[in-house]
């Protein structure tokens, strides 16, 4: 205290928690944005009917989803659901190609 005035005041716990949550929110937002970017690249490859590009994009997207789950940004069921739907889309889209190649 200097002349009855505190030199430094402590942050309240609520202010600290708010600051921490803001840092986490921005980190989670960045991770989710990466997931959305890989999903968009995958969907573009599917629309172009490019099997090799789609396969590579799917591999990258699955890896990014696993990463988001590991970091605690995404729930296990949400990650599994997204991976399942994207793999199913890949298999349905390129099933005719695989059948014609097998004949």
- What is the number of other CB atoms lying within 10 angstroms of the CB of residue 43? 15
d(CA 42, CA 26): 25
Using the predicted structure, report yes or no on whether residue 1 has a pLDDT greater than 60.
no
d(CA 43, CA 101): 23
**Quick one: average pLDDT of 2-19?**
76
Tell me the pTM. Answer: 0.78
d(CA 71, CA 100): 41
pLDDT band at 59 (very low <50, low <70, confident <90, very high): very high
pLDDT band at 25 (very low <50, low <70, confident <90, very high): very high
Residue pair 64/38 in contact by the 8 Å Cβ criterion: yes
pLDDT per position as a tens digit, 61-78: 999 999 999 999 999 999
Using the predicted structure, report yes or no on whether residue 7 has a pLDDT greater than 80.
no
């Amino acid at each position: 205290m200097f002349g009855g005035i505190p030199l430094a005041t402590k942050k309240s716990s609520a202010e600290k928690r708010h600051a921490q949550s803001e840092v986490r929110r921005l980190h989670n937002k960045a991770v989710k944005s990466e997931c959305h970017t890989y999903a968009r690249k995958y969907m573009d490859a599917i629309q172009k009917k490019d099997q090799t590009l789609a396969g590579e994009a799917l591999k990258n997207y699955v890896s990014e989803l696993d990463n988001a789950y590991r970091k605690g940004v995404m729930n296990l069921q949400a990650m599994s659901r997204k991976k399942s739907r994207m793999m199913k889309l890949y298999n349905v889209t390129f099933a005719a190609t695989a059948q014609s190649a097998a004949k």
